[in-house]
Structure formats: structure tokens, C-alpha cells
Amino acid sequence: MAKDSEILQLQGLRRAFNEAGLRLNEKLVLYRHEGTLEKLRTIIDLMGDPEAIYAMGGMLYGITPILREKNVDFDRCLLIGEEVVWKPDFRGWQISQDFDALAELAVQQLLAEIGGAPRRDQELPRFIQNITC
């Protein structure tokens, strides 16, 4: 579930599928638009519990009611979410980053731009932690 087709997380997901020799079914990638929750409900109705859900950004909050309504079995469906949307009953892979390092890089970049330096992209590693209840 993503905001648009070009966000970095989705590009990384596509690359990971490709490197693993797997095909990502783009028809199952849902974007944050009106009707997304109904599409998720329909997919679960037609296909049963998914093998995994990667909820990017704050989408975990939006889809949680559907996942509960459909009684998705999280022993069989891997839920992948970001640390900033952590929920007390979350089980799955939590993707996080070093927010102190992120803030430091942002300040350095801002000061550099104030001094006339060009804007440049920065990359920080993200960390994956398995959360179990």
C-alpha cells in the first residue's frame, strides 16, 4: 500500500522481488486513494489472507480496521510497517531509521544550502526488526 508508484519504498520492494527472482503482482499494489479500503477488502475476500502486507507511511492505521474485520491470521500473513506508525498489538517487521542521524543530516544540508551549496539527496540506512507479541 503506497501513496504513489514512484516512492522509494516501492522502488525498493520491486528491486527486492527482482533480486529474489520473484514477480511482484502490481495489481495487488494499492495506492492511497478513495476506494483503497474497499479494494483491500475485495482482495482478501477473493484471495484469502495475503502472505504479506507492506503498509508504507501511515497506511497501517487506515487498513487496520479491515484487517481486524477480516480476521487476518498474522501467523500466516507477514505485516510490514514503519516505526512511526507502531501500534501496541503490531506483530511483524518494523522498519525504522536513526532519527538522530536523520535530524543531523537535515541540519547539515540546510546549513549548506543557506551557504549556497546545491541541494543533494541523502541516504540513510533503515533497520528491520521482527516484532512478536
DSSP state letters, 28-91: G--BSSTTHHHHHHHHHHHH-S-SEEE--TTHHHHHHHHHHHTT--TTTSEEEEEGGG--TT--
The CB-side HSE value for 114 (13 A sphere, CA atoms) comes to 6
115 is a domain residue: yes
Q: How far apart are CA 83 and CA 103, in angstroms?
A: 16
Mean pLDDT of the chain: 83
pLDDT average, residue stretch 76-101:
73
Output the domain CATH number for residue 55: 3.40.50.2300
Kindly list the strands in the beta sheet with 52-54, ordered across the sheet, starting from the edge strand earlier in the chain.
Answer: 52-54, 78-82, 92-97, 126-131
54 is a domain residue: yes
1 is a domain residue: no
More confident residue, 70 or 122: 70
Domains held by the chain: number: 1
Residue 77 has pLDDT above 80, yes or no: yes
16 is a domain residue: yes
pLDDT average, residue stretch 100-112:
92
β-pairing, 126-131 vs 92-97, is: antiparallel
pLDDT tens figures, 5-40: 667 888 888 998 999 999 988 888 888 777 888 999
Is this structure's pTM higher than 0.85?
Answer: no
Q: Measured on CA atoms in the order 111, 115, 117, 119, is the torsion positive or negative?
A: positive
Q: Which residue has the cell 546545491?
A: 118
Q: Position 53: which residue type?
A: I
Give me the domain span that covers residue 122.
Answer: 8-131
112 is a domain residue: yes
3 is a domain residue: no
126 is a domain residue: yes
72 is a domain residue: yes
